[in-house]
Amino acid sequence: MEEYALLLSPIVVVLLIAVYFIWQLKVREKGKIKRQIIKSGDKGESKVKNVLRGLEKKNSRYKVYHNIRLGPDITTTNEYDTVVIGPNGIFHIETKNYGGERGGIIDIDSKGNWILHKKNGYSKIITNPAGQVGSHEYRLKGFLMKVVGVKNLPTQGIIVLSCDNITVRDNEKAAREIPILNRHELADYIKSYKKGKIILYPRTMKKICKKIEAMNNMAEANKMQALEK
């Protein structure tokens, strides 16, 4: 009886209500942070889309895809911010909007650690996107070999910083396998890659594009089916 009375006591009820509201506040705060990250990422990707519009013109030699899924099969895919198919290579681009609109400084040490210093004086360690780009490279190679049926094609991962007010201080002396570019450098980098030499013939490019579109149509269909269930 005493335990039953304790459970029903006003103090216990108040404590339970307080715990519930604290939990709700944390859930809402996490949701707010997640929405802010998504919004910031969307802004960055939109900026990159704008600088690549020149590659999407009617008579362009390049084909540009945004927000697509690729992998060796439909059940094993990665999501890519941007993929560009061109006569001189296949490029997969990871966009980062570090610093938001205000910007800041990114320090990269000799071990590949990234530290973001914001203009308000706040600093934090951020995940080196090279690992994410490496995973994309692996899935892309699998897609080209198993889905498209071609291999040994030139692929290049790129990290693009979409914020104009971000500065990178790279302490790595050797040239990086994955370039870190400002968004305004991206289109010129793609066009001059391998000195613009034609490596992919039009029929190969067409085959790759056809398979990309087929895989993403299937992925979209699967998504719609899952939502209907």
Written as one string, the DSSP assignment of 159-220 is EEE--TTEEEEE---SPPSS-EEEGGGHHHHHHHGGGG---S-HHHHHHHHHHHHHHHHHHH
Q: Structurally, how many domains does the chain consist of?
A: 1
Q: In this model, does residue 47 exceed pLDDT 80? A: yes
Residues 204/93, Cβ–Cβ less than 8 Å: no
Which one has a higher pLDDT value, 203 or 220?
A: 203
Q: What would the two tokens of residue 188 be? A: 């010129």
| CA 60 vs CA 16, 143, 211: distances in Å | 63, 24, 20
Place of tokens 């999501």: 79
The rounded distance, in Å, linking the Cα atoms of 141 and 82 is 16
Which tens digits make up the pLDDT trace of 148-162?
999 889 999 999 999
Its domain, for residue 40, covers: 2-228
Indicate the pTM of the whole model.
Answer: 0.79
Degrees to nearest 5, angle at CA 218 with 212 and 224: 135
Tokens of 100: 């938001």
What angle is formed at CA 203 by the lines to CA 93 and CA 179, rounded to 5 degrees?
A: 20
pLDDT at 111 over 90: no
What is the strand order of the sheet 123-126 is part of? 123-126, 114-118, 104-108, 166-170
How many residues are recorded in the chain?
229
Q: What is the pLDDT of residue 219?
A: 87
Query: What is the pLDDT at residue 35?
Result: 45
Give 6 or 116, the one with higher predicted confidence. Answer: 116
Q: Could you read off the pLDDT of 3-35 as tens digits, one per residue?
A: 544 445 677 667 777 776 677 666 665 554 444
